[in-house]
Structure 1
Amino acid sequence: MKLIQQMIKPWRHVFKLDPDRVISDEDLELVCLSGTDAILIGGSTGVTYENTVELLSRVRRFDLPCALEVSDLEAAVPGFDLYMIPMVLNTPDPAWIVGHHRQAIERYGNFIPWELLLTEGYIVLNGDSSVARLTGAECDLTAEEAAAYAQIADKLMTLPVVYLEYSGRFGDMETVQTVRESVENSQLFYGGGITCEAEAERAAALCDTVVVGNIIYRDVQQALLTVGAVKRTEHVRNLYIN
């Protein structure tokens, strides 16, 4: 576990690719050679073993870490550098906290590469997103309630990652800041709605790792600009964590 945590520690910028969406070879090359720290593969719907294998094989042409965010047991594909396992904290449905995880262990047992697994404490904050509808997440949280969930992940469960997921909408930075101030040990990920350099900079100033996804499929050139924007904010982020 410590080796995997050390792997993700330097990650400031991550591009997230959805196996269920189309990306050309040209755009994929631009994304993978952009200077991003890693590629995260995953999605809420339409993810299959076949389309995950295909996307992994295309990304593997490039020399950068590639992680799978496991959201469907049928798409648990071998060959990734690590596997990120979401636990949705703000859902009343235990299936998304431990239920699917139990099923995975029952099904795959000794085949699970435990040394490559990293658990994410997910806090879903956009009620209109696919992940919110899928998991039944209670997204109408105050900043203090979101921070309390973050502390459950950080202090009570000692999870390596707290993930603020706005999925398709740029987040409330006041909430993000409140969460930032409450997280001491976990690596704070932010994902959702980043469409330009300015938004990337705002999120990166507060979070350890910024995940950029949807804009890749709408405007790859804008997506590429987020890499430099995130990495310019390192000194600002240090003000919040030191």
Structure 2
Amino acid sequence: MKHLFKLDPAKNLPRNSVTKLIHSGTDGFIIGGTDNLEIEAVENLYELLAETDLPIFLEVSDESMILPEAEHFLIPVVLNTENSKWTHGLHKELIKELGDFIPWKRITSEGYVILNKDAKVAQLTEAKTDLTDEDIIAYARLAENIFRLPIFYVEYSGMYGDPEAVRKVSEVLSDTEFWYGGGIRSKEQAAEMAKYADTIIVGNIIYEDLEKALETATIFMEKTV
């Protein structure tokens, strides 16, 4: 996968817009958000995407994000926080409650480093965002070599990140997939980050300018022509 759209169930998206996203050339979808999450809204969005054969990932930040029929679940592990609630605390409590029923083969964990101090997710998780490139690289190596996480996700959450930092991270990962998300609002920015990250995630621009969002998926189609 090179490109994923991330959809927030707390935000309204017309059916015809979802149809355009499905046929954009993207490789799949993440359903996820930070606040105002309700199971009914998650179900409605999942149903809108049901016409596609592309993978649909539910990013479980809250119990409302759990749909039994879903094929793929992402479990965020925030690495750059000192609040253990967001590294393993909530995870343990959910496992304690539902462990016998968790479909482990459908679950993928992702090591998050959140870098926009003004983002809701940074404030919620108490993420330490004033990191040097060396700090981010150390987290990447921690994710791959200590925790053996399948995904390392650098998330600027609404703010376009530093391409040089992203490049440096890409050079130290070999087995762990490198995902980048944050502030991609144009075809050019998508292409820039796609040079380094295995997968880019496009989110906010979907709700600001759908046509520009659709263009971010076309760069991969063009490379195959």
| TM-score bucket (shorter structure) | over 0.9
The letter for the 2-side match of 1:50 is E
Q: How far apart are residue 105 of structure 1 and its match?
A: 0.3
2:114 is aligned with 1:129: no
Asked whether the 8 Å contact 1:205–1:233 carries over to 2, the reply is no
Give the direction of change, closer, same or farther, for the CA distance of 1:71–1:143 in structure 2 (3 Å limit): same
Give the direction of change, closer, same or farther, for the CA distance of 1:187–1:174 in structure 2 (3 Å limit): same
Q: Mapping of 1:91-102 within 5 angstroms?
A: 91-102=81-92
Match of 2:206 among 210, 213, 216: 216
Q: Deviation digits for residues 133-175 of structure 1, max 9, x if unmatched? A: 1100001100010010111001111110000000000001111
Give the root-mean-square deviation of aligned CA atoms: 1.2
Query: What SS does the aligned partner of 1:199 have?
Result: helix
Aligned residues, how many? 224
Q: Give the Cα–Cα distance (whole angstroms) in 2 for the partners of residues 180 and 63 of structure 1.
A: 29
The letter for the 2-side match of 1:31 is L
Q: Give the Cα–Cα distance (whole angstroms) in 1 for the partners of residues 158 and 174 of structure 2.
A: 27
Q: Give the Cα–Cα distance (whole angstroms) in 2 for the partners of residues 164 and 109 of structure 1.
A: 29
Query: What SS does the aligned partner of 1:108 have?
Result: helix
Query: What SS does the aligned partner of 1:84 have?
Result: strand
Asked whether the 8 Å contact 1:204–1:230 carries over to 2, the reply is no
Q: Give the Cα–Cα distance (whole angstroms) in 2 for the partners of residues 93 and 232 of structure 1.
A: 43
Q: How far apart are residue 106 of structure 1 and its match?
A: 1.1
Q: Give the Cα–Cα distance (whole angstroms) in 2 for the partners of residues 51 and 27 of structure 1.
A: 16
Gaps of 5+ in 1: 1-10, 235-242
Q: Give the Cα–Cα distance (whole angstroms) in 2 for the partners of residues 233 and 193 of structure 1.
A: 23
Asked whether the 8 Å contact 1:167–1:193 carries over to 2, the reply is yes
Q: Give the Cα–Cα distance (whole angstroms) in 2 for the partners of residues 233 and 71 of structure 1.
A: 34
Partner of 1:184: 174
Query: What SS does the aligned partner of 2:94 have?
Result: helix
2:189 is aligned with 1:199: yes
2:146 is aligned with 1:146: no
Q: Give the Cα–Cα distance (whole angstroms) in 1 for the partners of residues 223 and 6 of structure 2.
A: 20
Match of 1:73 among 63, 67, 91: 63
Q: How far apart are residue 37 of structure 1 and its match?
A: 0.5
Give the direction of change, closer, same or farther, for the CA distance of 1:90–1:231 in structure 2 (3 Å limit): farther
2:19 is aligned with 1:49: no
Q: How far apart are residue 64 of structure 1 and its match?
A: 1.5
Asked whether the 8 Å contact 1:200–1:230 carries over to 2, the reply is no
Asked whether the 8 Å contact 1:44–1:71 carries over to 2, the reply is yes
Q: Which runs of 4+ in 1 moved over 3 A?
A: 230-234
Partner of 1:8: none
Q: Give the Cα–Cα distance (whole angstroms) in 2 for the partners of residues 175 and 59 of structure 1.
A: 33
Q: Give the Cα–Cα distance (whole angstroms) in 1 for the partners of residues 223 and 115 of structure 2.
A: 24
Q: Deviation digits for residues 119-140 of structure 1, max 9, x if unmatched? A: 0000101111111011000011
Comparing both structures, which one devotes a greater share of its residues to helix? Answer: 1
> TM-score scaled to structure 2, two decimals?
0.96
2:4 is aligned with 1:19: no
Gaps of 5+ in 2: none
Query: What SS does the aligned partner of 1:71 have?
Result: coil
> TM-score scaled to structure 1, two decimals?
0.90
Asked whether the 8 Å contact 1:86–1:120 carries over to 2, the reply is yes
Give the direction of change, closer, same or farther, for the CA distance of 1:90–1:215 in structure 2 (3 Å limit): same
Percent of aligned positions that are identical: 40
Query: What SS does the aligned partner of 1:182 have?
Result: coil
Partner of 2:151: 161
Q: Give the Cα–Cα distance (whole angstroms) in 1 for the partners of residues 28 and 125 of structure 2.
A: 26
